[in-house]
Amino acid sequence: MATDPKYLREFACFRGLSENQLNAIAEISSAVCYPAGYELFKDGSPGDRLYFLLKGQVEVFYEIGEAGQVRVDVVTGEEIVGCSTLVDPYVYNATERCLTDIEVIEIDAEALRKMMREDYSLGFAIQEQLIKVLLDRIVNFRLES
């Protein structure tokens, strides 16, 4: 079920896109709610969905040696979740679970990757913003450590 393109404009990586590009992404998107405790995805599983968090909080867990699964971050509203779906080998590199009830826009990652390969300006705009988001997370993580 398609999402209203106005919700996509809330996110930086979509702000520079044309109406046609936004409408195309909206066609492969759905607005979905998940309850607290729901596991969005597991480390190592195929990256089939990219999530744009509208409301709520998501915990991020990494497998760290003998320590096992360790919570390394909490992502809050208006953030991207599941970024590894856009990078080969297209698998999730963390386990992410809803800390609270959440509302997300889910995007079919395979369809988005296909669009990005066919429309280089779309692909460049999304990748550029995605890199900014990830760099900000790294900086914030270092500041918290």
Q: What's 85's domain CATH number?
A: 2.60.120.10
**Taking 90 as the threshold, does the pLDDT of residue 23 lie above it?**
yes
For residue 139, the model assigns a pLDDT of 85
Residue 143 inside a domain? The answer is no
What is the chain's mean pLDDT, rounded? 91
* Other Cβ atoms closer than 10 A to 62: 15
Q: What is the average per-residue pLDDT within 109-138?
A: 90
Residue 23 inside a domain? The answer is yes
- pLDDT tens digits, 46-72: 999 999 999 999 999 998 888 889 998
- Domain count within the chain: 1
Residue 144 inside a domain? The answer is no
Q: What is the average per-residue pLDDT within 113-126?
A: 94
Residue 145 inside a domain? The answer is no
- pLDDT tens digits, 69-104: 999 889 997 789 999 999 999 999 999 999 999 999
Residue 71 inside a domain? The answer is yes
Range with lowest mean pLDDT among 9-18, 89-98, 117-126: 9-18
Task: Tell me if 36 sits within 8 A of 101, measured CB to CB.
Answer: yes
d(CA 45, CA 37): 18
More confident residue, 105 or 139: 105
Cis before 89? omega within 30: yes
Domain that holds residue 82: 5-109+118-138
